[in-house]
Chains A and B, each alone.
Chain A
Amino acid sequence: MMLARVADSLYWIGRYVERAEHMCRLSDVMLNATLDRTEAATQVARIALAAVGDPDSERVSAPYEAATALVLDREDPGSIVSSLARARENARQVRDQITTETWERLNFVFLRMTSPEAHKAFAGGSSVFLHETIADLHLFRGAADATMSHGEGWRFLLLGMYLERAQLGARLLEVCFGDTHRPALSDHFALTSVLRMGCALEPYLRAYTADIQPRLILRFLLLDEDFPRSLRFSTAQIEEHLSSLTKYLAVSADVSPERLAGRLRARMQYADMHEIEAQGAGAFLATIGDECAAIHHALHEAFVAYPLELRLPA
């Protein structure tokens, strides 16, 4: 049993933290690419900016400025600092529900990102800055895992993380492999950059050796059983946390989020690489994105914004 508002906040903390981490990684890969070769760097910047939903092609030619805005622009609601500010604001609203250890980690990342020195630190070494931010966010997850009760609240937090992860992952893959009209991504450097954006380079190498192929990358990021950022893994987690949460629900909602999550999990569980290729990866990935969005809405309806008339005490 927990307050509906609190559950909603925890869910959003999970989403914002995941989003911030993903965008840190994208920015870092994009900026690193500029150090190497120019034509591949443009391709990587295009992928990264498209994956964060920035269709403005002009920014591709100025990746450093684009990354600075992406990281530190407080006016932009989609920036990393804005995501962290919202995660922290939500955490403040449920300060009584998260442990001090967990709160401290998140507050620390926020204070660092909003301090007057942040701009200087970013300019002085963007890679170090972003790397540290990602490491701090990992500490936040670790603190939550190690100190919070693994009950309802914790599950809402993780549900937010995995839903966000699945949506962002699907979006990244769609940008890279979804458009069949374009020439397929083939440049070795661009392909490894995609793996880096998914935090997947090392696990991929262990699975498929240094044989970097678009088809294998798609397969790994979509269907790997054990890699925690693959879509199959994320959707399995979504289903697990949701079914654990709905067992406390006294009444079944009209559109049960659990049913949607179960269907999505099955879709990923029994997906076949040949079928996906035949159907076109773009359509498949778009379906996943839509189903994640549907789960998000159903979740809100079932746990947070339910009509009071349905839940009055007997």
Chain B
Amino acid sequence: MELSVATAQRSDKSLIPIEDLAPTPYDEMTAADGAVRPHYAALAQRLAALGGADLAERQRTLERFFLLQGITFTVYGAESSTERIIPTDLLPRIIPSDEWARIESGLTQRLRALNMFLADIYGDQQILMDGVVPRELVLCAPSYRREMQNLYVPHQAYANVCGSDLIRQPDGAFAVLEDNLRVPSGVSYMLANREASKRTFPGTFRGAGVRSIDRYPDLLLATLKSMAADWRPNPQVVVLTPGVYNSAYYEHAYLARLMGVPLVEGRDLVVHENMVYMRTTTGLRRVDIIYRRVDDDFIDPLTFRRDSSLGVAGLFNAYRGGNVVICNAPGTGVADDKAVYAYVPEIIRYYLGEDAILPNIETYLCREPAQLSHVLANLDKLVVKAVGASGGYGMLVGPHSTQAERDAFAEVVKADPANYIAQPTINLSTAPCLIDGEIDARHVDLRPFILCGDKIVVTPGALTRVALRKGSLVVNSSQGGGSKDTWVLADAKEQRP
């Protein structure tokens, strides 16, 4: 697993120039003929008017704002972990309304199908009986939770908060790279980036007709409340965090604050006669809905990992008893498993009878012998990922690796082929970024956030993650990635005059 980390952290010089991979990548601002795309015109004009020094000054103001607000994440190192500002880029990424309409309908369709899939596999398992998805692929996945079998989940909404990673294919069309259905993070950066870009480009922002994302916290609260039982009319919602040392702690506190609900840790909760309570200054108080930002494994030492001190003993039994709601439901990870991912277009067709609006990236399953040999023969062209890992760990980016790294990784894959998938190296699209006072293109992806309770809502905005090192394709914040604000433009008809 060390291999990929080493690969990702090599200096610019050792990277193979990106031109070797594919022709010039799709650029968000500039078309192939060099013309600025119409939806970027106003920003391009503004950038031309501002000098490099002015931009650098604005970048400093922005960083100061982030530092003062404490918008930081924790980087885990071998010996120590440190608190850092998430690198944020000044220049917004802009998405026109017609492209967004497609993303919105595509994501809605996808989450609806994935929740139906979860309800099915934790229920009658019809899709497995019909042989659409291999039975062992689902039942042997480490993220499959036997304990969830035959449990009632309101609205069949297993995944209440979803953050899907989209990338542009070479032709410019968006495709889904990954679904995050466990505890997706990053939404606070989406909101903080928006605050920052409003301060930085007030004029351009005002004129652009950017759709508002301010309602995310109250929509999240409404989604969570919609999961409550009817006989609990005024449900007590809490956000469960692993604590202040978690890398996403800032986000947990941020969401709790904006929803106006308590931010609790495992040690604040107790289970008594199958009910969940929190310890307040005036005694115990009943908890109805837990928006947990703790992984499945750690929520209840009695049901899952015994060595977890982050969770609450007896929580899962209270959940099974219908006395508390856990959002997202335990076991949703099986639907964003990297191997199950390959079957999502089939899953959509199976439940909804529709073609997927947003396509998948072509995926090779190393569990299939024929596909494995293809993968091993083409390691230098593919990205190989461990099925269970996330955050850019445990992966090999073929074109950016050395022969020695590939040889070592091939052995790892051969030892446990079912644990690996491979995808072609997609040359992510680029967007203009401010690098050392100069505007330069960097690779980006797109993570929109989708809420699902009694209805599905896609927030018209997203986290655009940026690979800040030139040529790098790794956008994860744990691997030197940054982020930038994402402007989703309103339809011209809806725009203010």
Contacts and interface: CB of A to CB of B under 8 A. Distances in A.
A associates with B: yes
Interface of A: 1-7, 89, 92-97, 100, 103-104, 107-108, 111, 152, 245, 248-251, 303-304, 306, 308, 311-313
Given A96-B263, A107-B68, A111-B67, A7 B281 contact: yes
B263 A308 contact: no
A92 B69 CA distance: 11
A1 B268 contact: no
Interface stretch (B19-27, B95-103, B271-279, B291-299): B271-279
A248 B68 contact: no
A152 B281 contact: yes
B280 A2 contact: yes
A93 B265 CA distance: 10
B70 interface: yes
B469 interface: no
A2 B279 CA distance: 8
Nearest to B253: A95
Given A100-B69, A111-B68, 14 more contacts: A1-B285, A4-B281, A96-B263, A97-B257, A97-B263, A103-B69, A107-B70, A108-B68, A111-B67, A249-B281, A249-B282, A308-B270, A308-B272, A312-B284
Query: Which of B70, B263, B268, B281 is most buried by chain A, counting CB atoms within 10 A of its CB?
Result: B281
B84 interface: no
Nearest to B269: A3
A96 B264 CA distance: 10
Interface in B195-223: none
Interface in B354-405: none
B68 A96 contact: no
30 contacts: A1-B280, A1-B285, A2-B280, A2-B281, A3-B264, A3-B268, A3-B279, A3-B280, A4-B279, A4-B280, A4-B281, A89-B244, A93-B244, A94-B263, A95-B253, A95-B263, A96-B239, A104-B69, A107-B68, A108-B68, A111-B67, A111-B68, A248-B281, A249-B282, A251-B283, A306-B283, A308-B279, A313-B272, A313-B277, A313-B283
A95 B285 CA distance: 21
B345 interface: no
Contacts of B262: 2-3, 6, 96
B348 interface: no
Contacts of A245: 281
A118 to B, nearest CB: 15
A271 to B, nearest CB: 31
B249 interface: yes
B281 A92 contact: no
A308 B268 contact: no
B244 A248 contact: no
Query: Which 9 pairs show the lowest CB-CB distances between chains A and B?
Result: A95-B253, A311-B283, A96-B256, A96-B257, A96-B263, A303-B281, A4-B279, A96-B253, A248-B282
B286 interface: yes
Interface string B228-265: 00000000000100011000011001101100001111
Given A92-B244, A111-B67, A312-B272, A5 B267 contact: yes
B242 to A, nearest CB: 12
A89 B244 CA distance: 9
B362 to A, nearest CB: 43
Given A249-B282, A311-B284, A95 B272 contact: no
Contact of B282 (A1, A94, A100, A103): A1
Contacts of A2: 262, 280-281
B70 A313 contact: no
Contacts of A152: 281
A67 B67 CA distance: 29
Contacts of A248: 281-282
Contacts of A249: 281-282
Given A245-B281, A248-B281, A250-B283, A104 B68 contact: yes
Contacts of A97: 257, 263
Given A3-B264, A108-B68, A308-B270, A95 B280 contact: no
Given A4-B268, A5-B267, A92 B282 contact: no
Contacts of B253: 92, 95-96
Nearest to A249: B282
A166 to B, nearest CB: 22
A292 B249 CA distance: 35
Contacts of A92: 70, 244, 249, 253
Contacts of B243: 93
Contacts of A7: 281
A234 to B, nearest CB: 22
A251 B282 CA distance: 8
Contacts of B256: 96
Interface in B62-93: 67-70
Nearest to A308: B270
Query: Which of B67, B70, B270 is most buried by chain A, counting CB atoms within 10 A of its CB?
Result: B70
